[in-house]
Amino acid sequence: MRNALAISALILCFSAFSVKSYSQQRPQLTHHLFQQIAYNPAYAGAKGYLQSGLSFRSQWMGMEEAPRTAFFNVHSGLRNKRIGLGFHVQSDWAGPARFTQLQAVYAYRIQLEKIRLSAGVQAGMENYRVDWSELELETPIDDAFPQMPASWWSPVIGVGVLVQAPHWYAGLSCPSLLEQDLFYDSAGPFSTRRLRHAYAMAGGDWDLTDDWRILGAALFSAVWGKEPYAAPASWDFYSGFFYRDLLLTGLSFQSGAPYNGPGKGLGQSGGLFTVLQLENGLRIGLSYDIPFSQLSGPSGGSLEWTMGYEWKVRARRISTPRFFW
């Protein structure tokens, strides 16, 4: 069973980068609202003060070699209030495959009364590594699988734009503009190509009472470029209630890919989340998603936790409209 799951995870990992595949390449988080810099570089320094965030997602718990994803970011606005700088790191594990990405981020923003316009760019490197020795094959020497670990480095460049108001935001981005072959063996079974993904994001919050607000956010992803049908589009929705800017709780839904009706999407799932945001700037959150696909049997669901810290000392001295986002 372990062998089958490991090989399945490997095939899923590589097919996600194949031109002929039907899978998203870039992992998405339930708490994407708190990792916006991972999807749009224009978000760097959006609140004007130093922010940091860490998220970890364990996908399809109960299945050996199932995917796991980790995000970490630090970013801040500078004293001139127009420039934001930061960096973020992403790591993924799926069976014997590993993916790591490191990027530096720059953003420039313009204040127009109650609306803020931002444009951002990011650049860095990413590494894909497969340790074939982790596969326990029935035939020790199998020509279909190389005997030595393989590793590929490639550059990454991304851009994005963002519009913010005190109670809503909207943006467009392409975190990776470059399309290139990362692994190709004409005599082998695998062909890996990184595709260009475009993101659209939007969200808003509305006051219900003095203590309660309702919040909603959506993230849309699709392949953009020469192979627009190589991976189908996906939607992530995030909606909940915020109590006194302290406790956020609600529901999430991921459309999955491909989507051919209820229960057909491989990543299709929904779940519950809760986030505690303390006055000292500390944030802690947890979510649990249940798959609505064929994975609902072997998988125990997906667990994701997030935490972050915001240094608000300088922000309290700035008399500008509150930007929740």
Report the SS3 class of residue 4.
helix
* The predicted structure's pLDDT at residue 296: 57
Where does the pLDDT of residue 181 fall: very low under 50, low under 70, confident under 90, or very high at 90 and above?
Answer: low
Domains detected in the chain: 2-140+148-317 (2.40.160.40)
Q: Is the pLDDT of residue 22 over 50?
A: no
Per-residue pLDDT tens for 201-250? 999 999 999 999 999 999 998 877 655 555 667 888 989 999 988 999 99
Closest CA to 97 of 23, 185, 10: 10
Q: What average pLDDT score do residues 138-152 get?
A: 63
Per-residue pLDDT tens for 260-308? 444 454 567 888 999 998 888 899 999 998 877 666 566 678 889 999 9
* The predicted structure's pLDDT at residue 16: 39
Q: What are phi and psi of 210, to 5 degrees?
A: -65, -25
Helix (H) or strand (E) holding 6: helix 2-15
Radius of gyration of the chain (CA): 20
Sequence-distant (≥ 6) Cβ neighbours of residue 240 within 8 angstroms: 214, 215, 248, 249, 250, 251, 273
Strands 191-194 and 180-184: what pairing?
antiparallel
Listed ranges 167-176, 179-188, 193-202, 315-324; the one with the highest mean pLDDT: 167-176
Where does the pLDDT of residue 193 fall: very low under 50, low under 70, confident under 90, or very high at 90 and above?
Answer: low
Per-residue pLDDT tens for 109-138? 998 988 999 999 999 998 888 776 666 656
Measured CA to CA in angstroms, residue 245 lies from 132, 205, 239, 278, 325 at distances of 48, 11, 15, 8, 12
